[in-house]
Structure 1
Amino acid sequence: MNKPANRFSIKPTSLAVLAGLAMQALPIMAQEQGDDAEAIEEVVATGTRLKGTATAVMEERKNQAFVADIMGAEQISRTGDSDAAAALRRVTGLTLVDGKFIYVRGLGERYSSTQLNGAAVPSPDPTRNVIPLDLFPSAIIESLSVQKAYSPSMPASFGGGNVDIRLKTIPSDFIFSVTGNLGSSTDNFDDAYAYDGGGQDWRGEDDGTRAAPAAITSRWESKNFLDNLPQGEAVALLKDMNRNYDPKLESVDPDYGFNLSVGNSFDYDEDWRFGFLASSGYTSETDVTEEYIGEQPLRNGDTIRMVRYFDEVDTTEKSVKWSTMLNVGVDYNRQHRIDYSVIVLNDTRDQIQEKVGNTANITLNDNQRVREYEIQYEERSLYTNQIRGTHTFPELGFLGFDWKYSLGRSARQAPGNMEARFLLDDENLDGIYDKETESALSNSTTAGRYTFQTLHDRVENYMYNFNLPYTLDNWEMEFKVGGNFLTKTRTAENRRLDINTRAFADTSLLSGYEFADILSDNVLDTATLSNIPILRDTTVAGDDYAAAQKIDAYYFEADLFYNNTWRISGGVRYEDFRQAVVPFDPRSNQFDLPANADRSQLAFVEDNFYPAIALTYFMQEDMQLRFNYGETVVRPDLREVSSSTYIDPLTEFPIGGTPGIRTTAIKNYDIRWEWYREAGNNVSVGLFYKDMADPIESVQSPAQDGPPLVRIANAESGELYGMEVEFLQGLGFIDEGIWDNLFVSGNVTVSGSQIQLDRQHIVEQTGVSASVTNLQRRLTGHSEYVVNLQLGYDSDNGEHSGSLVYNVFGDRILIPGIDGFDDSYEQPFHSLDMVYKYYPDFNTTITLRVQNILGEDRELEFEDTLLRSETRGTDFRLSYQYDF
C-alpha cells in the first residue's frame, strides 16, 4: 500500500547500530521508571551480519505482490563476488554463461531483460540487445532484484524474468570508505604470453597503437575501399599499420584495485534534507588459461575425430575496469523527493591467444602443424544519467506520483584486433615443432587479418506512475496507472583487412616466427612482389548497420487486500512496439538486401495487451501461498529480422537473420509457498511452468568451408517446468556453543524443458538447408538442476565471519547439433569458494577470498567427445577496507 515517502533510506548496518544503542539505553529508562528496578550493568546484542540484511531483503520479497528474489549488498559481500553477473548466479534458478549473461530458469539471455534502477539501459554488445552484466561492479550495488513473475508495470518482453540492478543510495549519515585489494591465481604463477600494447593500457584506453592508420581510415570514410590497389600503394599502407603484435613470455602482474566512497545527508530548517553519495573504483586483473578447441568433427564408423582442432592453446586476458557513480538528492517534508544519478562504467578486455593445432590440409601425418595467434582488444563503456521523483499528496487522499527519466549511452570500441597464421614443419623429424626454428608465415590469402569495429547505442527511457490508496470496510486497496516510453538507436561499423602473402614471389622470405620481422619495412621494400595486392579489403555487405526501436506502453494495476487474509493483484499492459534494422553495404552505403527482397522486411511492428494476475493467501502471519499468471512475449533481436548475413564479431560465425521471424508468446504460471520465521530463518518452495508458442532458436546450415552458417528460426512449440526450493536456517537448534554461530542457506532448482522443431518449416522460413540433428530437445542453455549452498559463521564478539559457498549447474546445450552429431553440452562446473572477514575494530574490515578451490576446468562435450576445455585456476584476493 502507498505510504508517505521516507527520507533517505537507513542501511541495515545502521539499523543494527541503532538497535544496539537502544538496548543499551533500556537500563537507564527502566531505572527512571521505577525506584526498585535493578540496574542492568551490561547488555550485549548479537546477530549475524548476513541475517541482518537477509531479514531486510526477505521482508521486501515477502511484501512483493509478484514472485521475486532479492539479493542485498551484504549477501554479495559474503560470497565475495566482484560484479553483478557473478553475484546473480547465487540467486535461485539462475546460471551464468560466458561470465556475462544470466540465464533465468534455463532460458537464454534473449529471455531475460535488465534494468538499472528500474530503467532501461543501452548495451555495448555488438550483436545482441542484452546487457553484459559483468559491467557492473558489486561495490556500487545496493541490491539485485530478480522478478520471475510478470506484472503489468514491467516490460512485456519478459521470458525468464527481469533483473533490476539497484545502485547504492544516499546514506542517512556521513560515510567515508576506502578499500584496496590485491590478488592472483594459481594459473598466473608462471610466465604467460603478452604483446606490446599501448602506453595507456593501464587506464583501459588504447593510445592509437592498435588503430587503423589515418591513410586507411580516410579512404574508408570516403567510401574508397582498398580493393585491387596498385602494389606500391598497398605496400605503403601496410607499412603504416602496426605489425608488432607477436607473443612473448612475461611474468604476470598481481591483480589489484581500489574503491573510494563518500556521502552524507544534511538537514536545512525542519522540512528540507539534502544528501549525496560519490563512489569511484578501479581494478586490474589478469586471467591465464590453457585450452583445447575442437572445430570440425568427422565421424568414421563408431569413432569421432576432429579434422580441425587446436590442442595447445595458451590464453592471457587482461581486464581493466573503472567505475564512477554520483547520487545527489533533496527531500521536502518527507513527501517530495528528487534524486539525480550519473553512472560511468568502463570495462576493457585485452586478450592474446597462442594456438597450435591441425586442419584437414595440415596434419601430423605430414609432420606439419598450424600455429595461430590472435589479439582481441575491446573497450566497453556505459554512461547513464537518471533523474527520479517521488511525491505524496496527503491532502488528496495520499495520492502518490512518481516519475523517472533515464538517458544512457554505451559504446564498444575494438580499435585494432589482429590474427596471424604460421606453418610449423618438423624438418628434422624429432617430433618437436619448434616455433622459432621450424616456422614460416602461412603462404595464403589470410596470413594475417586486422579488424576494426565500433558500436554506439543510445537509450532514452521515461516513465510515470500514479497510485491511489483506498480503504473500504475490510478492503485495503491501491490502484496504479502509468506509462513507460522507450527509444533506442544503434549504429555499428566493422572493417577488415587481410594480408595476402601469395604476393611474395620468393616464399623463402616468409620463414620466421615473428610477424613484425617477416613483414618489416626493410623486407617490404626489398622483396619481389607479384601483381597480387598484398592487402585485401574483406569488409562485407552487412558489416554496417543502423537500428532503432521504440516502445510506447501504458498499464493499469490494482492491489487489493481483504481482511488481512487475501491479496489480489493484477492488471493489464498495452505495448506498441516498433523496430527497424537497416543493414548497409559499406562500399556503396546502400541497403544490403537481396535484389528481390522487400524493404518492408527491415521493419518489425506489433502491438498487444499483456495481462497478469497474482493471488496471495496469508495462511499465518509468517506464512503465505502465492499464485501468479501472466502473458508475455519475447521478440527477435535487432539484427534477426533482416535477411542480411553478417559476421558475429565475438564468435566469427556468419549469422543470417530471417525476415518474417515470429514473436515468441509465453504463458507463465507460478505457485510459491513461503514461510518467514524468527531471526531471519525462512523457507520457500515454488513450482513454475511456461508454455511457449514459436520459440526463437538458432539453427545451423552445414558448412562448406569454414564455420557453419547460423540462421534464426522459430521452433513449433516449447515448454519449461520445474521446482525451486530456497532456505536460510540458523544451526543453534542443534546445540549450544559453536552451533549458535553457524547458519546454512541455499537454493535448489530442478526443472525440465522441451522444444519441438520442424525441419521443413525451418527450411521454408530461412531459405537454407537446416541439417538439425535433434528435432526434439531441451532449450538451448537449459540446466536441469542448479544448486547453491552456503555455510556461514559469525563469532560472538563480532570480530570474525566466514562463508563457504558452493555452486553447481547441470549440463546445458550451448551448440545444437547438426549433420547427425549430437548437441554439444557444457558440463557441470562445481564451484567452491571461501570468504573470511576480520573486523579488528569498528572501522576496519579485512577480507580474504579464495575462489574455485576445487580447481575445476570448464568443458564442452558431445557424444563423449571433448569439443572445448578451459582451465580455471584457484583465485586469491586480500582486501582492506577502512570506514572513517
Structure 2
Amino acid sequence: MKFNSLSLRALLIASTAILAPAFAFAQTETEAETETETEAAEAPTEAAPAVDEDFRLNEVVVLGRYIPEVLRSTSEVAAYLAPEDLARQGDSDAANALARVTGLSIAEGRFVYVRGLGERYSAARLNGSPLPSPEPLQRVVPLDLFPTKILENVLVQKTYSVEFPGEFGGGIIDLRTLNVPAEPFLEVSVGGSYNTETTGKDGLTYFGSDTDVIGFDDGTRKIPVAVRRAMSSGLRIQSGNFADQDLQAIGQSFTNAELNLIQTNDSIPLNGSYEVSGGTSFDLGGFDLGLIGVLGYSNGWRTKNGRLEVGEINGGQLQATSTFDYVSTDQNIGWDVLFGLGLDAGDDKIDWTNLYIRKTTKQAFVREGFDDLALRDVRDDRTAWYERELYSSQLNGRHFRGNWTFDWRTALSQTKRDAPYERAIRYVFDPLVNNYVYNPAGSGSNNSISFSYIDDKIVSGALDVKYTQPLSTARDIEYSAGIEGYENNRTAQTRVFGFIAANPPLDFRLTQQRADFLFANFNINPDVFEIRETTGSAGAGAFDADLNVFGAYAKVDAEVIPLVRAALGVRYENAAQSVTPLSLISSEADPAPVPGVKNNYLLPAATLTWNFAEDQQLRLGASQSIGRPQFRELAPQQYFDPDSSRIFIGNPFLTDTEILNLDARYELYFDRGQTVSAGVFYKDLEKPVESVVVTQSASVFQTYLNAPRAILYGAELEFKRVFDSPFSGAMMENKEFLVQANYTYSKSEVQASAGDEVFPLQSNGQPRPATDFVVDGSRLQGQSEHLANFQLGWQDDNARSQATLLATYASERTSARAPAGQPDFVQDPGINLDLVFKKGFDVRGREFTFDFKAQNLLNEDFDEFQSGNDGFVQVNQYDLGTSVSLGLSTEF
C-alpha cells in the first residue's frame, strides 16, 4: 500500500480538530527534512486540472517513515523480531526468543502461549508453509527445534487475516529462514555452557550405544529380528501363541545391560556447541544466483532433582497421598542443517529452502517414595531414547507483472519421533534387607519395554494473486485472492513388552540382583522369566490420523480516504479430520470406529488502520476463526508423558472451537525502531478444548473435553526507546542505550452453568453435567494474568561491545483441570533474569566476537502445584539452576 501526501486544505476539511495536534507535532522535523518532503510532494507526476493559486497550499507528507516495513505493510496487529533483536537477546532457539514478545509466554520450554491461549491456539509456519509436529501430545511443532542462527526474522501476527488458515486463536508465528546473502561470508563459532544444578554435579546415565554422543543409535536399540519375525505372524507374543523355546529366544534377543543398568555419573560434563555457516552469490548476467548453508551440532546435559506428589481430598482436606523424590538426567544432542538456493531476476524471484533438524534426548530417571495405589514404598527406574526429526523442502516464487503480483509456494514437511527401548522397572522396599528388591507378587514390581513411533507429514501448496489499482497519485486499492490446500497425515504406534515371573515367587536372592543380572539371558527361560506382549488392544496401540484442509479467500485492502486504510476479507474453509484406531495384532478384533470432525466455514475478517498523524496509527480488528482438536486428543490411546509423569488418553468425541476476535491498538513510532503502543483485545470461545485429570479404576490419567464456553480479554502495553549516553567519560560517552518493556494483562473465564453438558471419554460420548468437570469462572488453561518483559542495554560501536539485561515474568497459570472437587493444577513460572554480553576484538588482523550469557540469575525453579481445601500438593518441582555460556566466532 502507498502512504500519501495530500493537500493541507483536504486534510483540514476531513478532520481539523483531530489532526491539528498531529500537524503541530510534525513541525518538530528538521528544516532539511521539511524542505525535502515539500519538494517531493510538489513534484508533478501527472496532468492535473488547474487550481486557484490563492487556495494552493504546500502539502503535508505522512510517510510513516519510522514504522518498520513489515508492520507498515500489514493492517493486522503484529510483532516482529528483527535480526538485531535475535542477536541482542542471545537466545539459542525460537521458543526462548519469542518469550520476549508482548503477550507471549513459553510452556515446557517449547510451546508458545499467545495472550494466555495454549499452544493449540497458535500455528507455526516456516516461510509461510505449515509444519507438522513430532510431539505425541501436540499438532503444533515445538519451537525449541529451531535454532535462532538459522532464522532471519520471526513475525507474530495476533489478529486474524483471511490469507491465513482459519485455525487461529492466539496468533500465527511465521519463522523465516536466512535468504540469499548480499555478500559472501563464512562464519565459524564454538560455544560452551555451565549449569549450577547439572555441570560437575552428580547425575544419572546409562551406556546405550557407541554412537550416542552424535545423537544416532548404532543399532543397539533396533527391534530384534526375533521380535520382528514374531510380530509379523499377527499373533500377540505370549504363552499359548508361541512355544516355550520360541518365547525364550524372543526374550533373550532384547538388549539388556546397555539399556537396563542406570549408573551414577559423579561429574556431568560441560555443554558444547559448534556451527559453521556460509553463503555467496553469483551474477549470471540476467539474474543473480545465491547459495547459503548452515551446519550446527550441540551436546548438552540437564539434571533435575525434584519432587512429585499426587493429591486427594480426604475429610474435605487436600492431602498428598503419594510422594516421590526423583532424579532425572537428560543428554540432548542436536543437529541443524540448512541449505538454500535463490534466483533473483528482478521481477521474478524463486527460492528453494531445505531444512533438517534433529534433536535426540537420552534420559535416565529414578524416583523413590510412597505410592498410595500400591500402598508401599517403591522405586521406579526408567531409561529412554527420544529421536525427533524435522525435514522441510520448500519452493517459493514471487513474480511481478506491472500492477499484478503472483506468489506461490509448495512444501513437503515431515517430522518423526522414534522412542525405541523405553525401559521401566518398578522395585518395592523390603524392610528385611532395608533396600528395594524386585518382587512381582501382589501390588509389587513390574517392568516394561516399549517401542513407539510417530510419523507426521504435511504436503501443502498455495497461490496468491494481488492486483494494485491506483485511486490517485497517492492512494491505491489492492485486490487479493488465493487458494491453499494441505494434507496432514500422522501414523502413531506403540508396541509394549514385559517379562513376567514364570513360577512365582522368585528366589529371594534373585530379587536383590541389579537390573542387568536380573534380566540376563540365564534368567530368561520357562522357569524364571518369560516374555509377554502387553500392547494395548482395541485400537489403544496405534492409530492413523489425517487432516485435509482446502481454503480460498478474497480480500480488498484500500486507503478509502486519505490516511484511513481498511481491509475486508472472507475465507471459505473446508476441512475433514479423522482418527482411525488400528489393531497392531491382526488376530484380534478390529477396534470400534471413531467419529470424525468435518466442517465448512465462512470466516470474515476486517481491520481498519488510521494513520492520523506522522508515525502514529490506530488499528481496529474483528474476525472469526476456529480451533481444532489435535490428533492425540482424539485418539483413544494411552500415552505416558515423560515430562509430566502422567498418562494421557484422547477423547474421540471432541469438536471444533469457534472463536470471535476483537482488537484495538494505538501505535506511535517516534524514531526508527522506537515505539510506544497500547492495545486491548477480547475473545469469545465456543466449546474450547480443556485438559482434565480424572481418577478411574484406581488409575489417574489426563484426558480432554469441550468446555461449554470461555471468554478472554486484556490489554497490552509496549515501549522501546534508544538514546545516547547521558554519561560523560571515555568509557561511557560513545554508548547508545536501549530501554524496552512490555506488559500484558489478561483475564479469562471458563463458563459452565446448570444445564450445560459435556461429552467426556469416561461416559463413552454420553452427555454429562458440565459442572461435574468444569468450575464456572475458572481461568483458561495456560493463561497468566500478568506477563511482563524488560530489557536494558547499551551498544558501543567504537568499542564493538554490547550488553543487555533481560527480565521475563509470567504469573501463575492453570496447567490442567484436577479431578472433581480438587483445586486445579497450577504452574508458577516466576521471574527469569538473563544477562547477555558481546565483544568484538582483533587477533592478527582477524575479527573475532566473544559472547557471554548468564541465564536464570535469580535461580527460579519449576513449580507445579495444587493449593486449596486447606492443603497443598507439590505436583512437580525441580531446580532449574543458573546457566552460564561462553561463545567465540569469527568470519572469513
What is the TM-score when the length of structure 2 is the normalising length? Answer: 0.86
Which letter does structure 2 place at the counterpart of 1:872?
Answer: L
Which residue of the partner structure matches residue 447 of structure 1? 446
Separation in structure 1 between the aligned mates of residue 793 and residue 521 of structure 2, nearest angstrom:
62
Kept in 1: contact 2:250–2:531 (CA 8 A)? no
2:515 is aligned with 1:515: yes
Secondary structure (helix, strand or coil) at the match of 1:75 reads helix
Secondary structure (helix, strand or coil) at the match of 2:226 reads helix
Following superposition, the deviation at residue 59 of structure 1 comes to 3.7
Which residue of the partner structure matches residue 581 of structure 1? 579
Which residue of the partner structure matches residue 680 of structure 2? 687
Separation in structure 2 between the aligned mates of residue 243 and residue 439 of structure 1, nearest angstrom:
18
Separation in structure 2 between the aligned mates of residue 185 and residue 834 of structure 1, nearest angstrom:
15
Which residue of the partner structure matches residue 291 of structure 2? 276
Secondary structure (helix, strand or coil) at the match of 1:825 reads strand
CA distance change for structure 1 residues 730 and 219 in 2, over 3 Å: closer, same or farther?
A: same
2:715 is aligned with 1:723: yes
Following superposition, the deviation at residue 655 of structure 1 comes to 4.5
Following superposition, the deviation at residue 614 of structure 1 comes to 0.8
Separation in structure 2 between the aligned mates of residue 720 and residue 456 of structure 1, nearest angstrom:
35
Q: Which of 681, 685, 696 matches 2:689?
A: 696
Which residue of the partner structure matches residue 312 of structure 2? 298
Secondary structure (helix, strand or coil) at the match of 1:215 reads helix
Q: Deviations over 1:799-833 (max 9, x none)?
A: 21111111110100012122311011101321111
Separation in structure 1 between the aligned mates of residue 774 and residue 659 of structure 2, nearest angstrom:
26
Count matched residues.
Answer: 805
2:270 is aligned with 1:254: yes
Q: Which of 305, 322, 326 matches 2:339?
A: 326
Q: Deviations over 1:161-193 (max 9, x none)?
A: 111111111111111111111112111221311
Q: Which of 849, 872, 875 matches 1:845?
A: 849
Following superposition, the deviation at residue 247 of structure 1 comes to 1.4
Unaligned runs of 5+ in 1: 4-54
Kept in 1: contact 2:103–2:115 (CA 8 A)? yes
Separation in structure 2 between the aligned mates of residue 499 and residue 484 of structure 1, nearest angstrom:
50
Kept in 2: contact 1:715–1:758 (CA 8 A)? no
2:94 is aligned with 1:84: yes
2:364 is aligned with 1:356: no
2:201 is aligned with 1:190: yes
CA distance change for structure 1 residues 764 and 493 in 2, over 3 Å: closer, same or farther?
A: closer
How do 1:28-39 and structure 2 match up within 5 A?
none
How do 1:39-58 and structure 2 match up within 5 A?
58=68
Following superposition, the deviation at residue 114 of structure 1 comes to 0.9
Following superposition, the deviation at residue 553 of structure 1 comes to 0.9
Which residue of the partner structure matches residue 357 of structure 2? 345
Separation in structure 2 between the aligned mates of residue 286 and residue 298 of structure 1, nearest angstrom:
35
2:418 is aligned with 1:418: no
Following superposition, the deviation at residue 671 of structure 1 comes to 0.6
Comparing 314-323 with 582-591, greater Cα deviation is found at 582-591
Q: Which of 185, 188, 198 matches 1:175?
A: 185
Kept in 2: contact 1:129–1:638 (CA 8 A)? yes
Which letter does structure 2 place at the counterpart of 1:606?
Answer: N
Which residue of the partner structure matches residue 539 of structure 1? 536
Q: Which of 406, 413, 417 matches 1:401?
A: 406
Which residue of the partner structure matches residue 238 of structure 2? 227
Which residue of the partner structure matches residue 553 of structure 1? 551
Kept in 1: contact 2:707–2:758 (CA 8 A)? no
CA distance change for structure 1 residues 665 and 304 in 2, over 3 Å: closer, same or farther?
A: closer
CA distance change for structure 1 residues 633 and 716 in 2, over 3 Å: closer, same or farther?
A: same
Q: Which of 189, 197, 202 matches 2:213?
A: 202
Which letter does structure 2 place at the counterpart of 1:481?
Answer: A
Kept in 2: contact 1:380–1:411 (CA 8 A)? yes
Kept in 1: contact 2:510–2:518 (CA 8 A)? yes
Which letter does structure 2 place at the counterpart of 1:423?
Answer: V
2:109 is aligned with 1:130: no
Which residue of the partner structure matches residue 491 of structure 2? 491
Comparing 714-723 with 222-231, greater Cα deviation is found at 222-231
Separation in structure 1 between the aligned mates of residue 586 and residue 359 of structure 2, nearest angstrom:
34
Which residue of the partner structure matches residue 866 of structure 1? 874
Separation in structure 2 between the aligned mates of residue 716 and residue 485 of structure 1, nearest angstrom:
31
CA distance change for structure 1 residues 654 and 359 in 2, over 3 Å: closer, same or farther?
A: closer
2:773 is aligned with 1:750: no
Kept in 2: contact 1:384–1:407 (CA 8 A)? yes
Q: Deviations over 1:650-708 (max 9, x none)?
A: 56755554455332111101111111112432111111100111112223443322223
CA distance change for structure 1 residues 361 and 750 in 2, over 3 Å: closer, same or farther?
A: closer
Following superposition, the deviation at residue 844 of structure 1 comes to 1.7
Which letter does structure 1 place at the counterpart of 2:860?
Answer: E
Which residue of the partner structure matches residue 17 of structure 2? none
2:601 is aligned with 1:608: yes
Which letter does structure 1 place at the counterpart of 2:238?
Answer: D
Separation in structure 1 between the aligned mates of residue 885 and residue 607 of structure 2, nearest angstrom:
44
2:136 is aligned with 1:141: no
Separation in structure 2 between the aligned mates of residue 578 and residue 715 of structure 1, nearest angstrom:
22
What is the TM-score when the length of structure 1 is the normalising length? Answer: 0.87
Separation in structure 2 between the aligned mates of residue 407 and residue 147 of structure 1, nearest angstrom:
24
Q: Which of 364, 378, 382 matches 1:374?
A: 382
Comparing 858-867 with 275-284, greater Cα deviation is found at 858-867
CA distance change for structure 1 residues 277 and 586 in 2, over 3 Å: closer, same or farther?
A: same
Comparing 750-759 with 274-283, greater Cα deviation is found at 750-759
Separation in structure 1 between the aligned mates of residue 687 and residue 879 of structure 2, nearest angstrom:
38
Separation in structure 2 between the aligned mates of residue 522 and residue 766 of structure 1, nearest angstrom:
44
Secondary structure (helix, strand or coil) at the match of 2:841 reads coil
CA distance change for structure 1 residues 656 and 800 in 2, over 3 Å: closer, same or farther?
A: closer
2:797 is aligned with 1:800: no
Unaligned runs of 5+ in 2: 4-64
Kept in 1: contact 2:337–2:355 (CA 8 A)? yes
CA distance change for structure 1 residues 786 and 94 in 2, over 3 Å: closer, same or farther?
A: same
Task: Give the share of equivalent positions with the same residue, in percent.
Answer: 28
Which residue of the partner structure matches residue 109 of structure 1? 119
Separation in structure 2 between the aligned mates of residue 764 and residue 371 of structure 1, nearest angstrom:
37
Q: Deviations over 1:698-720 (max 9, x none)?
A: 23443322223x44322121111
Which residue of the partner structure matches residue 461 of structure 2? 462
State the superposition RMSD in angstroms: 2.5
Which residue of the partner structure matches residue 285 of structure 1? 300
CA distance change for structure 1 residues 536 and 553 in 2, over 3 Å: closer, same or farther?
A: closer
Secondary structure (helix, strand or coil) at the match of 2:372 reads coil
Q: Deviations over 1:449-490 (max 9, x none)?
A: 111011111111110111111112363111111111111112
How do 1:608-757 and structure 2 match up within 5 A?
608-641=601-634, 644-648=636-640, 650=642, 653=646, 655-708=648-701, 710-732=702-724, 738=732, 741-757=736-752
Separation in structure 1 between the aligned mates of residue 237 and residue 752 of structure 2, nearest angstrom:
44
Kept in 1: contact 2:551–2:571 (CA 8 A)? yes
Secondary structure (helix, strand or coil) at the match of 2:163 reads coil
Separation in structure 2 between the aligned mates of residue 687 and residue 298 of structure 1, nearest angstrom:
40
